[in-house]
Amino acid sequence: MLGFYNIQGIVMDLSLLLIEPYKININVWAFEFMKDISSPPLNTFMALLAKSFLIVIPLLVLYLYFSKKDMNVYTFIVAGIVFYLVSDAIKLIVREPRPCNVSELNWINVVSCQSTFSFPSNHASVLTGLSFFLSKYKYIRVLYIIWLFLVLFGRVYLGLHYFTDILAGMALSIVLYYIVIHFKDKINNFFNGIVKKIFPKLALKG
């Protein structure tokens, strides 16, 4: 009987996470904190930071390819696409509204809003997953993780995600990373083979 109630409690918690995430304490506390520290300059900074991945990720790809000659750059790119597609597919299944679109949260700090869905966070799943590829580049990884933290912090600050969306995206990225990395050699050899045929001088040495 005790086991039944434990399972029932877990199911209720999960349903709350997916149906009424605005009632979860950690999400409420996060939004209260964000509202307390909000300011016009910080609003602008976080809004700009949210789009910085459009510059950071391409630069990182160029760095890994041309500076480090890292064969894993191919898997890095493929993994980023996989992380995004899977997390976006889950969004379409769960269809959780963003916090900024929830009437019960009309008190939170909202800098910008989107009509797309919230759970899980694409930023969290993609950017966290890509961080695992930087383990052998100590200084780059440290800078990347600091940037990652600020971006994910900003997603909640802007009113675009619940804190639990971020956690879910990070957890998803771990699972997907270990699936993708299993095919690392095949992915690297396949795409490097294509580059070798089209641009021989740009092909990497495995």
Give residue 109's pLDDT: 67
The gap from C-alpha 101 to its chain's centroid, in whole angstroms, comes to: 20
CB-based contacts of 106: which residues, under 8 Å, 6+ apart?
none
Buried b (16+ CB within 10 A) or exposed e, 96-123: bbbbbbbeebeebbbbeeeeebbbbbbb
Cis peptide before 99 (omega within 30 of 0): no
CB-based contacts of 140: which residues, under 8 Å, 6+ apart?
60, 63, 134
Over 50: is that where the pLDDT of 14 sits?
no
Please, which pLDDT band fits residue 7 given cuts at 50, 70 and 90?
very low
Over 60: is that where the pLDDT of 36 sits?
yes
